[in-house]
Amino acid sequence: MMRIGLFLATNAAILVLISIVFQVFGIEGILDSNGVDLNLNALLVMSAVIGFSGSFISLAISKWSAKRSMGVHVIEQASNQDEQWLVSTVQKQAEQAGIGIPEVGVFESPQPNAFATGINRNNALVAVSTGLLQHMTKDEVETVLAHEVSHVSNGDMITMGLMQGVVNTFVIFLSRIVGFVVDRVVFKTQRGMGPAYYITSIIAQIVLSILASTIVMWFSRWREFHADAGAAELAGRQKMIAALKRLQTVNDPQDLPGEFSSFGISGGIGGGLKNLFMSHPPLEKRIEALEASANVVNRQ
């Protein structure tokens, strides 16, 4: 709750700061003199409502959506020893991490992967692919589960939702300003909003969304290192390194589809500009970070 309050307070402070900057530098007056009768304060509020609404709705239905879109079979009553082991392992790790016990599920996919989602730390879902269970040892699967439990413990799902809400807010806000300026200053629309406003706003929103997604993906990559560190504490650093090395042997690693890509254990292969849009750091970088932290511990 403190994390949510701090993030919301920070976002509110940013909105207020932008409003003050517009007034101090007379930007509202400049817009008015060019016929842009735009209420920036109202636009900020509207942008925040729209930006956060979509993000929180997506987060609120994330478990429901995952179960249906990914075909996750939730283990409500273990039918074999493997399912019993999965459930008991997640329960033990959740108790170590001090969070509510997540639901545990399995989804069909030949790719070794796993993800965690849910609206809060005590109402989460941890799911693994059939490919993960087939290609990894129990020690490696245990570490992957620890990585996902660490995501839950860190509150990464809600933090990503909040981050997306902030980004959405500014994309909507700035794209509408661009639309108003082009419509009134370039096309000299006198009253109301002309076609140029709608067309330019849409184009600006698409461009700004692409640019903003690099910020969200940077944050996603950053939190993967923290989840790896958390998994190392829960299951062991060498086990985590071994699990990541096993993932390197996969011939064609793939992201999970859509909104779940940033919650998986591994991402696809990057390269060039594609690196900016990857939800996960390269596996070798994650291994290097764990090995470097191990060296620091050994020197101490």
**DSSP one-letter code for 74:** E
pTM of the model: 0.79
79 by DSSP, 3-state: which?
A: coil
Q: Is 64 exposed, middle or buried (0-12, 13-18, 19+ CB in 10 A)?
A: exposed
Q: Which two tokens stand for residue 260?
A: 């779940």
State residue 47's pLDDT score. 86
State residue 26's pLDDT score. 59
Listed as own residue / partner, the contacts of 73-78 with beta carbons closer than 8 Å and 24 or more positions apart are 73/105, 73/106, 73/107, 74/103, 74/104, 74/105, 74/125, 75/103, 75/104, 75/105, 75/106
Sheet with 73-74, strands from edge to edge, namely 73-74, 103-107, 123-129, 114-120
State residue 103's pLDDT score. 96
Among candidate residues 148, 259, 284, 291, the one labeled active-site is 148
Q: How large is the greatest C-alpha to C-alpha distance in the chain, in angstroms?
A: 73
State residue 42's pLDDT score. 80
State residue 6's pLDDT score. 45
Q: What are residue 222's phi and psi, to 5 degrees?
A: -60, -40
Q: What is the pLDDT along the chain (300 residues), one digit of tens a residue?
A: 444 444 455 555 555 565 566 556 555 555 555 555 667 778 888 888 888 888 888 888 888 888 888 899 999 998 899 999 999 999 999 999 999 999 999 999 888 889 999 888 999 999 999 999 998 999 999 999 999 999 999 998 888 888 888 888 989 899 988 998 898 888 887 776 788 988 999 999 999 999 988 988 899 899 999 999 999 999 999 999 999 998 888 755 555 555 454 455 555 545 566 778 888 888 899 999 999 886 554 554
Q: Please, which residues have CB within 8 angstroms of residue 176's CB and are 6 or more apart in sequence?
A: 38, 43, 47, 201
d(CA 43, CA 180): 11
Query: Is 142 assigned a catalytic role?
Result: no
State residue 91's pLDDT score. 96
State residue 33's pLDDT score. 59
Within 10 angstroms of residue 271's Cβ, the number of other Cβ atoms is 9
